[in-house]
Amino acid sequence: MSLMRRGVIGADGARYAGLARGLGYDVSGGMSITGGGGELYPWEIDPGSGPVGGRRAYVASCASTQEEAGLMEDDGGVVAAGRQDGGRGRSGGRWVSPRGGIYISVVLRPGSGFEAGLLPAAASLAVRAAARAAGTAAGLRWPNDVTVGGRKAAGVMVDAEAGPGGVERAVVGIGINTDATAAAAEGELGGSAGFYGAAPLCGAGQRPAVARALLAELGRLYVLLGSGGAGRVAGMWEAASGIIGRRTIIRGAEGIAERLEWDGALVVDGRRIYAG
């Protein structure tokens, strides 16, 4: 982008160039702006058309994007952070969130009849699609993990508010490891119960592109879930996970994984297993 071509010259050009440099961009002598360090600024993560990402906010640091998004009312609104000091995963577990990762929460207001139990599956599928855009082959692990090489590369959590007609509001939180953060997770969580390793899903410089792809795909799946496509989303997750038809042990239940139900339960030998 060139400031001169946009008519920003003289003192204004110098002022805007200084602001751009302060945000991590490189500004050449001709006022051409490049770089940006991969930060998730609102203008960098615009997914284009679609129901998710119409309103976007960025905070350099916060306790949790889930808390920040809790203050946002817009359906499809997005909060991204450079780092989190109190990031949390499913069931209140800690999510190590140093600078350089992808930390995003999305506000959804689906209305009555929406199959909210499949939101974690939809978000996991969206992360997997974004990984492909970054050139990474990712897998899925029930209930809401995205893996690379058998190690955790991303996690999803959903905070939902129920009303008379079903879920009225849900905040979908997504944390993604990059090559700048996976080692920190290994160092802090290694040896913890349930920890099976951390892997990067992308490079730190790829964060905006991955976030754009993630939001675009999440928007597509959100529409699908709201228009009678719950069975398709469940089938997509089943195909991507590779667990269906295989023997597994989940939450103490051992047997053959049969299917993913619309409420998010995994059926193992006829038993419905729910995420904690």
Count of structural domains within the chain: 2
Report if residue 264 sits inside a domain: no
* pTM, two decimal places: 0.87
91 plus 120 within the same structural domain: yes
Tokens encoding 10: 């003289």
Q: Are the CB atoms for 139 and 146 separated by under 8 Å?
A: yes
Residue 74 has phi, psi (to 5 degrees) of -65, 130
Please tell me whether residues 62 and 190 are part of one structural domain: yes
In a domain, 269, yes or no: no
Q: Are residues 101 and 208 in the same domain?
A: yes
Domain identity same for 87 and 8: no
Q: What is the CATH number of the domain that holds 205?
A: 3.30.930.10
DSSP string, the chain: -BTTTTT--HHHHHHHHHHHHHTTEEE-TT-BEEE-TT---GGGS---SSSS-SSEEEESSBS-HHHHHTT--STT-EEEES-BSS-B-GGG-B----TTSEEEEEEE---TT--GGGHHHHHHHHHHHHHHHTT---EEETTTEEEETTEEEEEEEEEEEEETTEEEEEEEEEEE-BTTTHHHHHHHHTT-TT---B--SB-GGGHHHHHHHHHHHHHHHHHHHTTT-HHHHHHHHHHHH--TTSEEEETTEEEEEEEE-TTSPEEETTEEE---
Residue 131 near residue 146, CB atoms below 8 Å: yes
Q: Which domain holds residue 23?
A: 1-36
Same-domain status, 92 and 18: no
- What is the pLDDT at residue 216? 98
CB contact at 8 A, 210 and 130: yes
Ordered per-residue pLDDT tens for the chain, 276 residues: 444 344 344 455 555 555 655 566 666 655 555 556 689 999 999 999 899 999 999 999 999 999 999 999 999 999 999 999 876 665 556 667 788 999 999 999 998 778 899 999 999 999 999 999 999 999 999 999 999 999 999 999 999 998 887 889 999 999 999 998 888 888 777 767 778 899 999 999 999 999 999 999 999 999 999 999 999 999 999 999 999 999 999 888 899 999 999 999 999 999 999 986
Q: Residue 33 has what pLDDT?
A: 56
Do 18 and 142 belong together in one domain? no
Pair 10, 144 in one domain: no
Strands 56-59 and 78-81, bridge-based pairing: parallel
Token pair belonging to 55: 């309103």
